[in-house]
Structure formats: structure tokens, C-alpha cells
Structure 1
Amino acid sequence: MASSSNGSHLSDIDSARHARRAVIASTVGTMIEWYDFYLYGLVAALIFGKLYFPSQDPYSATLLAFSTFFLGFAARPIGAVIFGHFGDRIGRKGTLVATLLLMGISTVLIGLVPTYDQIGIWGAVALTVLRMLQGIGVGGEWGGAIAVATEWTRFNSRRGLAASWPQFGSPLGMLLAVTALTVTSYAGSPEWFETIGWRVPFLISAALIAVGLYIRLGVLETPVFQQMQEKKQIVRAPIIDAVRGYWREILLTCLIRTGQQAPFVLFTTFLLSYGTSHLGVQKPFLFNCVLAAAAISLFTTPLFGYVSDRIGRRRMYLIGAFTMMVFAFPYFWMIDTKIPYLIALAILLSLPIHDMQYAPQAAFIAESFPPSVRYSGSSIGYQLASITSGGPAPMIAAYLLHTYGTSAAISAYLAVIAAISFLSALFLRDRSQHDYTTNEGWVREERTTIVTNIAPSSTQA
């Protein structure tokens, strides 16, 4: 059967082809957005302090540079609210094109911002605004990428694997950002890199945007959203409906991420500071170990997504949270030995253990919300953890180390937040066998949803 103009009534062959393209589009899009996001964090640590926040105290300049890094986390829930609304109102595809453009354009402009010596404090102001726009773009990306990748009937029995591919975009984006910076740093002198060279990877984002747009514009709207349009089930106020009807799921979504996102930040950013300043380990060695762990994640992320299809989403998540609890103390014990092969082993194990939660997480969360508020509900819950978990994690770890003078305090912190994830996952219902494509059977939604009487082809917000 031929495809109609809006993508309905596809043959099995066409459906399979478009479903695969949807997964690829989600993965490439998240890869590009994470490339942009990680790139800023890396350059903030290397360059931004001296270029945009000049101070006689280098430590103060670095703190100011990292404050803009935190703003990217703080802005994510804003993006979740804005784009969650439009994703559930006008469609997943169009909204994801908007998040990609916002993130990409902000990144390119960061590469063009004049320094303090050229325009004074306005350079720092522009940097801060653009970093917040990056955070808003990332905040609106995740929920839509997961919906686009999974709202196809052919993935009903493989939803964990399908949803793990957009998650795969995170380690891939990190590797791409590091590679771009490394290659650029070898292209000229250190002075050239600190004045001009660091801008090149940001400007390269323009080419990545073009590739991402080409792929995303060729993707059809998901069959689930088309079905909602045809049945006139589009929600007038999806954010309000999601909060009223699914506040419990939103809260638990935020909490299950506690023991996943905070460890990731500690394993990839705090480690560099702790290893070099506290233990005296060479930064290139730590950096290469983290890169190797990210490369392993390219395999373990889809692997654990696949396993969640076999044993269940919640069971896989519980195994991951429990393993993180157990790993919390051995991780720092190995790091603190200062023995290279034990440090490398700790780092290489850290991200795969993290992936035991990260891989099934996407499907686990998306399955907790009906199609009419899936983009909104999953995005809000997911991105709230950026404020409660990922954002403050390095500061909490630094405070614990300063107060108690031992990494055991940080290990205890890791164990506690992993326990929070474990307990929260116990209370979040496993809906992997629930009908993912329909709004029927969602009791709380039936009490709260306000359906807009629109024509099937309407795209009004």
C-alpha cells in the first residue's frame, strides 16, 4: 500500500524503512546536541576563564566560567516545558527540528563571541545567554527523540533497544567533541589555539546542523501522533495535564535519574579535578581513560537496552542501581591507589555500570506516560534531575572532600543516591507490556485530559 502525504497507511516495507530512519534521525540529532553541550564544558575548563572572566585569581575565573556551565543544566527544565508543550500539540518531528536549530545556532554563535579584551563584560553576558539557550535546546530534545524512535508498532517488542539508540548519542557526542578539540589543538601553537583555534569546533557545528536537518526533515511524523490527530485526542494543555494526572510518574522519573546522572557527572568531570589536584595524576592519562570508557559505552548502551527487552525494564534498572551502590566504594579505592592499571580499571568499569541504568531508562520513562502527554511528562521528569542531581553533583562532591578530607564521603554519597534510584524504580510501574500506542487504559489521564476539537491535519499550537 502506498504512503499518503502525511505518512499514514504505510506498507510493512515502508513502515520498517521509516521506523529505521526515525531511530537514525533521533540518534544523529542527540549526538549533535550532546556534541554541542559537551564542547562548551570542555572549553570552559580550558579557555573561557582567562578569555571572558579575567581575574587576578585564576581559581575565581574558573569558577565563573563553570557557573555558565551549570546554567546549561538549570535551563533544561525550561526547554522541557516549552518544547514538551509543542511536541504534544503540533507533533514530534517539527519540534525536534526546532530544538536542533536552537542548539546548533547557539553553538555556532558561541564560537563567534568577542572576548573580554574586545567588548568587556558583554562577552561574558553573551556567553551566558547562549549557554542557557543550549540548555533549553537540550531540555527539549530528549523527550521528542525517544518518542520519535519508539512510537512505531514494529518496535513494540524491542522498545528498550530502540530507545537506547538516542541514549547512544551522548557518548558518541562526547567522543566527537573531544576529537574535534584534540585535532584542532594539534593544528597550531598553544597561543593560536587559545585565541582562534578553540572556536573552530564550535563553527563546525554549522555543518553538523545541516546533516541533522537533512535527516530529520526526511522523517515522517510518528504513527502514534498521527493516530491522535485522527481521533482528535490532541491535548490543549499537555504540561498542565501531565502535572495534574502524572505528577507521581514525573517525580519518580526525576528520582530514578538521581543515581544515574550524578555518578555520570562525577565519573567524567569531577574525576579530572580530583585526580589531578588531589592525587597528582596526570590529566592526559585520566582524559584518555574517560575517552576509552565512553567508547565502551557505545557498545554497552544498546546492549543493556536489548537486555531490558528480555528481562523487563524495571528489573534491568534495579540491577543497575544495585550495582552502582556496590561499585561506589571500590571505585574510589582503586582511584586512590594511584596505581595506573587500577585507576584505568575503575574508570573503564564506571560508564558501563552507569549504562545499566542509562540504557533502559529511556523506554522505562517514556512508557510511564500516555501518548497525549508523553513528550511533556517524560521531558519534565527527566530534565528536573539536571537541577536536583547532575548540576549540583560536582559541588556536593567537592564539599564532602573538603569537609571530611576523604573520598569515602563521596563514595557514601554515590551509594545513597544509587539507593534513591533503586527505591524509586521499585515504585515506578513497569509498563513495558502496556499498549504504548494508545491513550486507552490510562485512568488518571481520563480524569484530567482536556481534548481539543481540531481537525486531523491541524498543526495549531
Structure 2
Amino acid sequence: MKDMVELSRRELIKIITILNLGTTLEWYDFIIASTAAAIVWPQVFFPSSNPASALLLSFTVFALGFVARPVGSILFGHFGDKLGRKTSLIWTLLTMALGSLGVGLTPSYIQIGILAPILLTIFRLLQGLGIGGEWGGAATMATEFVSNKRYRGFWVSWIQQGLQFGVILANIVFYALLGLMPRLEFFEFGWRIAFYVAFVIAVIAAIIRYKIAETPLFTKLSSEGQVLRVPFIEMMRRDWKRVLIMTGIFLQASAGFYIAISFSEAYIAKFLGFSDSFAVQTVILGAIATIFGTMLASFLSDLIGSRRKIMIISPVGVILFSIPFFLLLNSKDPVLVTLAVIGYYFIELFGWSVMPTFYAEWMPTQYRYTATAFAINLATPLSGGLAPIIMASILQTFRGNYLIAWPYLALVSIAYGIISAISVALARSDTAAKKIE
């Protein structure tokens, strides 16, 4: 068996790059859905004279994809902890690919009526199933490959960078399509191109991922006959408290991410009166800034020997910045609006940078994949899926009057920050110096 000590820097870079490619495509796949939910789906699948109602229905279907994520985490986590990380991670990509292809092929409401949103929901569930096993599996695999490295957090953070790369790629595609095509043609078929591209690239990525070797830690576990029969049951029996803490930590990260991405795009374009292209552009700039934030956060976590001290920055930062965030947005000044999105995006993802490493370090090899995937995907329906719906409902309650609704919108963001800050405090042990076995 090839031990990690024998892996050269070049080999490690190759492995991390291939894993990063998968997570980049995963998030590209998912972000085009969130962008479409904010900009396209309200008109294509939920035609209504009330934009707030159409937006609410669109975000509801988008959120249903989150319902499938815990199921996907259990399914792919089970096979990842029994058959190997690589096999499971190949199938997560292929499942996402089929979901994206289905979304792109779904006819509009005008063409097939109520069947259109039903089909859209089915394919969103398929997307959610695949993504449920991706991030946790990639974090597990990366951590196990660099288990004895001094700057383990920095290495694993490149899996997290896939989120930023995916956001940038997805929004550039939408930005290009919006800019190059007449608006009518874009809403008729142009937006679907992004989903067809996702399908093709995801299949290619799965083929590339096939070339990765299995991790030494799982290979050792398997050769010694230590693989568990049902990893999920053992995880809940031994570590259910830690799983709940991990879930609580991730609530703000997931809610804040979708507030920064899908909700802010809709808010800027539908209520503040800016163009769709401008809304997408602000998110791209936020993602670019966060690339450097992720590198800084992960490096600092290794340097000071603490993941928790970095993770706490995000929920506390979001608590403090939520009100200024909406005040800057409501100014309607293009520069201030852009700074608001960049600032919120940067703050809320700073602590997220070290979560993949912390989660994988905190769990044993026997159910590391299952635990990491399940914790984050248990949180997402309650946060990333629910937060945009709550905020859209608030806007609908106030009949789209954002000048009255914004304090309540800020409170949603603050509430998630408080829960996650408490959860980080409850995770009393740190993992940066822990030996991974």
C-alpha cells in the first residue's frame, strides 16, 4: 500500500486538483439552479402577476432539492464507508449530471402546464440526492490523503475552493448568456444551455475522478476487516451529539451562502430594480474575493493550531453585519450594493473554509464519510433551503415593500448566526493537532 509519506507534492497537487474539479462542477451544477430559481424559473414555470408569489414558488421548488440531500448523504456515505470513497464520489457526479440534464429538458408551464413544475421538482430532487454525497465525500478523501501533513487545513481547503470556482463559472455562464442573447430568447431556451454544459462536464469529471487511487486510510481499514456493516447506525450510536453540533455549526454557513447567492440576486434584480446581469456580477466579485479569504482562513487555522477560532468568525461576523448589509443594499447605490454582497459573502464563507477539515478530523475513518456528509446535509434543508423561503415569504407578507420588510429579513440572518455561534462554542475540542488514523 502506498503510504502518504511517499506521496510527492506533485502527486498531492494532482489528487487535490481532481477532487477540486469534482466539487467545482458540483457547485456549478447547483449554483446554476439557484441562479435560475432567482431569475428564470419564476417566469418560465410559475407565471404570475405577483413577482413575490412567483419567487416564493420558485424558491420552494429549489428548496425541495435540499430534502433529498440527507437521503443522498446516507446513501452515498454508506457506500463510501463500505466500498470506498472513490466509487461513491463517481456516482455522486453522475447522479447530479442526470438531474441537470432533466432540468434543462423540462418544458415550460406554457407548453405543458402544471406538469412542468412537477418535472422540475423531480429533477431537483435528483440533483439534491447527488450533491448529498459529494462535499462530505471529497472532504473525507482529501483529509485522508493529507492526514500527516503540517498544513492539512490548507490542503483540504482547496476542496472548499471548488465552491468559489463553481460559483464564478456558473455566474459567468449566466452573465454571458444574459449579455449575448436577446432577453426573450434567453428565457425561452438560453438558460437551458448552462444545464446541458453541466451534464457534459460532470460526465467528463466522473471519468477523470476514476483515475484517483483509494485513500491509504480506507485501504488499511478494509484490509484489516474493520469496515462497519451499517456505518450510519454506528455513527448515531457513538457520535450523535457531535453530529448534531456539526449540523448546528453548518446552519449559518448554508443559510448565509444562499442568502448571498440566490436571495441577494433576486432582491437586487426584482426589488431594487437593477438588471439581472448586475445582480450576477456582484456575486462573481464576492466569490473572487472569497478565494483569497479561504486561503487566508485555512492557512491561519494551521498556523495557530485551531479550527474553532477560525470557524467562530463567520457566525459572529454575520450577526454584526446583517443590518449594515441590508442598509447598503437599500441605498441603491451600485458601488454600495456591490460592497454589501462582497462583504457578506466574504464574512460568511471565511469560517466555512476550515469546516471540511474540522468535520473529517473529528470523525473516525469507519464512518467519516457518512458523518461529514450527513451533518452538513441535515443542516441544509433547515438553512440553505429554508432561509430563502422565509425571506421570500416576508417580502410577500409586506407585498414586496422591501423598505418595511428589510429588518425582518436581517433578523433571519442574525438568528442563524446565533445558533451556529453557540454550536461552535459547544464543540469544545479542537482538531488541528489531531492524528488522523
What is the Cα deviation at residue 280 of structure 1? 4.2
| 1:149 Cα deviation after fit | 1.1
Tell me the residue number matched to 2:378.
384
Give the aligned partner of residue 389 of structure 2. 395
Are 2:147 and 2:435, in contact at CA under 8 Å, matched by a contact in 1?
no
The CA deviation at 1:120 is 4.1
Q: After superposing the two structures, state which structure 1 stretch, 15-24 or 213-222, moved more.
A: 15-24
Where does residue 351 of structure 1 map in the other structure?
345
**Which residue number in structure 2 is paired with residue 67 of structure 1?**
60
Q: Give 1:295 deviation, angstroms.
A: 1.3
Q: CA deviation at 1:25?
A: 1.8
2:180 is equivalent to residue 183 of structure 1: no
- 1:317 maps to a residue whose letter is M
Write out per-residue CA displacement over residues 339-358 of structure 1, whole angstroms, 9 at most, x where no aligned residue.
33332222221122112211
Look up the SS of the partner of 2:133 in the other structure: helix
Please state how far the C-alpha of 1:225 moved relative to its aligned partner. 0.3
Instruction: Tell me, in whole angstroms, the C-alpha distance in 1 between the residues paired with 2:107 and 2:252.
Output: 39
Partner of 2:367: 373
Superimposed CA distance per residue, residues 368-421 of structure 1 (whole angstroms, 9 cap, x where no aligned partner)? 210101011111111111122111112333455647935333334333322221
Counterpart among 265, 270, 273 of residue 258 in structure 2 = 265
Matches within 5 A, 1:12-161: 12=5, 14=7, 16-54=9-47, 60-153=53-146, 155-161=148-154
Q: CA contact under 8 A between 1:316 and 1:360: conserved in structure 2?
A: yes
Distance in 2, Cα, partners of 1:161 & 1:223: 20
Q: Which residue type is aligned with residue 243 of structure 1?
A: M
Alignment partner of 1:221 is 2:221: no
Moved more, 182-191 or 84-93: 182-191
Provide TM-score, normalisation by structure 2: 0.91
Distance 1:423 1:53, change over 3 A: closer
Check whether the contact 1:160–1:363 (CA below 8 A) recurs between aligned residues: yes
| 1:405 corresponds to | 404
User: For the structure 1 residues 411 and 45, does the alpha-carbon distance in structure 2 shift closer, same or farther, using more than 3 Å as the test?
Assistant: closer
Letter in 1 for 2:23: T
TM-score normalised according to structure 1 size: 0.86
Distance apart, 1:118 and its partner CA? 4.2
Instruction: Name the structure 2 match of 1:451.
Output: none
Alpha-carbon distance in 2 for matches of 1:9, 1:283: 50
1:165 Cα deviation (Å)?
1.2
Percentage of identical aligned residues: 33
The residue type paired with residue 27 of structure 2 is W
Match of 2:299 in 1: 306
Larger displacement relative to structure 2 (357-366 or 59-68): 59-68
User: Which deviates further from its counterpart, 363-372 or 294-303?
Assistant: 294-303
Deviation for aligned residue 1:57: 5.6
In 2, Cα distance between the equivalents of 1:350 and 1:74? 26
Following the alignment from structure 1 to structure 2, what is the Cα–Cα distance between the partners of residues 274 and 153? Answer: 41
In structure 2, give the amino acid aligned to 1:148: M
- CA positional deviation for 1:278: 4.5
Q: Are 1:304 and 1:355, in contact at CA under 8 Å, matched by a contact in 2?
A: no
Return the alpha-carbon distance in structure 1 between the equivalents of residues 436 and 180 of structure 2. 50
Matching residue's letter, 2:424: A
The 1:330/1:82 distance shift into structure 2, 3 A limit, reads same
Say which SS state the counterpart of residue 111 (structure 1) adopts. helix
Looking at structure 2, the residues matched to 54 and 414 of structure 1 have their Cα atoms a distance apart, in angstroms, of 29
Tell me the residue number matched to 2:165: 172
Q: Secondary structure at the match of 1:405?
A: helix
* Partner in structure 1 of residue 321 of structure 2: 327
> Which SS does the other structure have where 1:147 is aligned?
helix
Structure 1 residue ranges without an equivalent (≥5) = 1-7, 438-461
Tell me the equivalent position of 1:340.
334
Distance change in 2, residues 1:383/1:175 (3 Å): same
Aligned to 1:434: 434
> Based on CA coordinates, which of the two structures has the bigger radius of gyration?
1
Matches of 1:252 and 1:335 in 2, distance apart? 33
How far is the alpha carbon of 1:17 from its aligned partner? 4.1
Quick check: 2:269–2:276 contact (8 Å CA) kept in 1? Answer: yes
Task: In structure 2, give the amino acid aligned to 1:365.
Answer: Y
- Cα 1:338/1:183, change in 2 over 3 Å: closer
Deviates more, 1:248-257 or 1:290-299: 290-299
Any idea what the Cα deviations from partners look like across 1:62-108, whole Å, max 9, x if unmatched?
43333221111221111111111111110100000000111012212
Q: Which moved more, 1:266-275 or 1:230-239?
A: 266-275
Whole-angstrom CA distance in 2 between matches of 1:61 and 1:411: 22
- Quote the residue 1:288 is aligned against: 281
Give the RMSD, CA atoms, in angstroms: 2.4
For residues 51 and 413 of structure 2, what CA distance do their matches in structure 1 show? 30
C-alpha separation in 2, matches of 1:206 and 1:189: 24
The 10-residue stretch of structure 1 (41-50 or 76-85) with the greater mean CA deviation from structure 2: 41-50
Cα deviation for residue 327 of structure 1 reads 1.9
Distance 1:11 1:150, change over 3 A: closer
Counterpart amino acid of residue 426 in structure 2: F
Q: Following the alignment from structure 1 to structure 2, what is the Cα–Cα distance between the partners of residues 56 and 278?
A: 14
